[in-house]
Structure 1
Amino acid sequence: MKPIYRCRVCGAFTEEPWHCDKPAALFMTGEQRVRLSKLMSAILRHIPHEAGLELGPGGWIEVEELARAIRERWRRRDLYQWVTRQHVIAVALLDPKGRFQLSSDNRRIRAAYGHSVKLELGYEPLSENELPEVLYHGTVMERLNSIIHEGLKPMRRLMVHLAARPQEAIEAARRHGSRVVLLRIDPRCLAEMGVPVYRASHVMYLAPHVPPECIKSVEKVSSGTAPAMSDA
């Protein structure tokens, strides 16, 4: 990830070293940003108890409380003594995948998706007019046969994750193996089958499951070559 800078004029966080026609101050290195982003995701999605935290309704928690827990109670807190509420806010605001949501006053934060802890996020199902034309899900070849027959299930997460763009789906799948396949999902098919679709961020959508009938095509993805597509 890029470093985060803070504008010396307006105070905005930015990935660019210049803002308001003046050099911006380095606020967080790229290494610090990656480390803090991964930890925030882990705590807000999966292991709040390991930082001595309890998520509120909808998965929300005070930003200051999260920053303090990371500094004072996280098991590797020695690596995070520099973290303040402003660092948490900066990571959340500039996250390229919309992993985090902040309240309008920047006092509370939650993970937008990816939870394994059980909670109600409070998203409203999209209407048919709000549905995108296509969504994507990445997986590995070893799981494809069961998916084609049984559809997509949340497994250890609360929801199935569907990406708005192929690259996000492929990146997620590559964490599980090298033989990646890209599934094209028909959101209108989901609606017709009574499966709600929720928008979690500008690049990520959620559904409780995806029936096999709504998987419209499968692409084999290999580095350096174009995907080979087949109908599901």
Structure 2
Amino acid sequence: MLDETITLTARVAWGMLPEHLRVKLSKKMAGLLRHYGEEYGLKFTRDGWVRITDLVQALRRIPGFDWVTVQDVLEVVSRDEKGRYEVRDGMIRARYGHSIKVEVEYEELSREEIPETLYHGTVARRLEGILREGLKPMRRRYVHLSLTPQDAYTVGRRHGVDVVVLAVDTRCLEEKGIPVYRASHKVYVTPWVPPDCIRLAGRG
């Protein structure tokens, strides 16, 4: 508790959150906006928006987050490298990754706007099933694809050390009528990826 008080005092002095608090807050924001916000009283619009002030109140109900302000939330949004969040007119939402029933409408992309290859990071124990059945959203609304193999590797590391990076042929998806959407400047999403559109790109 003393350490957190010191770092929050430093936040006031420096005008920004220390890195470990920013990461901690971002993870909790993602959880609320994607998965369990309703349990903390958040009321989502059909397309996933909530009031920023309501999000702050929900965060403050969680032990260890009673220090959060609107400024802190906006800082997390502005410094997020993957573009996880979107802010508009006092509202906020996660751009992708939802398990709750919201319908985020993504922009339609032309063929030229979609990279020919995108990447997905996973772990070795899941590889056999993926190569047999393809990539499925599981508990989420869409399959997430990364712009670079390095980003995919980082995603895979969250699930274990035996990382496998898969390359997804988006022209193959196009031929099968499966759409690809851009969720942020680094993340693309698709309803699913059949096995024959996947190849092994590397192992960690």
Q: TM-score, normalised by structure 1?
A: 0.78
Q: Identify the match of residue 93 of structure 2 among 91, 105, 110.
A: 110
**Residue of structure 2 aligned with 1:46, choices 35, 38, 48:** 35
Number of corresponding residues: 192
What is the aligned counterpart of 1:62 among 21, 43, 51?
Answer: 51
**Richer in helix (by share):** 2
Q: C-alpha offsets along residues 135-176 of structure 1, whole Å, 9 cap, x if unaligned? A: 000111111111112110011111100000112211111222
How far does the alpha carbon of each residue in 1:36-65 deviate from its partner, in whole angstroms, 9 at most, with x for none? Answer: 101100000100122211211211111111
- After superposition, the CA RMSD in angstroms is 1.5
| Residue 220, structure 1, aligned to residue 197, structure 2 | no
Q: Does 1:206 align with 2:195?
A: no
2:134 alignment partner, one of 141, 151, 154: 151
Counterpart mapping for 1:43-192 below 5 A: 43-71=32-60, 73-74=61-62, 76=63, 79-103=64-88, 105=89, 107-192=90-175
Shift of 1:132: 1.1
Q: Which runs of 5+ in 1 are unaligned?
A: 1-23, 222-232
Structure 1 moving runs of 4+ over 6 Å: none
Give the secondary structure class of the aligned counterpart of 1:59: coil
> SS of the residue aligned with 2:154?
helix
Tell me the residue number matched to 2:9.
none
Quick one: higher RCO (CA 8 Å, sep 6+), 1 or 2?
A: 2
**CA drift at 1:127:** 2.0
Separation in structure 2 between the aligned mates of residue 27 and residue 82 of structure 1, nearest angstrom: 13
Shifted more, 120-129 versus 200-209: the winner is 120-129
Report the Cα distance in structure 2 between the residues aligned to 1:58 and 1:163, rounded to whole angstroms: 23
Q: How does the TM-score come out when normalised to structure 2?
A: 0.89
**Residue identity in the other structure for 2:153:** I
Q: What is the CA–CA distance in structure 1 between the aligned matches of 2:37 and 2:160, rounded to whole Å? A: 28
Equivalences for 1:4-23 in 2 at 5 Å?
A: none
Quick check: which one's strand share is greater?
Answer: 1
Q: Indicate the structure (1 or 2) with the bigger Cα radius of gyration.
A: 1
CA displacement 1:58-82 (0-9 Å, x = unmatched): 11111111112212x33x1xx2222
- Distance across 2 between alignment mates of 1:218 and 1:129: 23
Unmatched tracts of structure 2, length 5 or more: 1-12
User: Alpha-carbon deviation of 1:113?
Assistant: 1.0
What is the distance in 2 between the residues matched to 1:112 and 1:200?
6
SS in 2 for 1:216: strand
Residue identity in the other structure for 1:50 = E
Task: Report sequence identity in percent.
Answer: 50
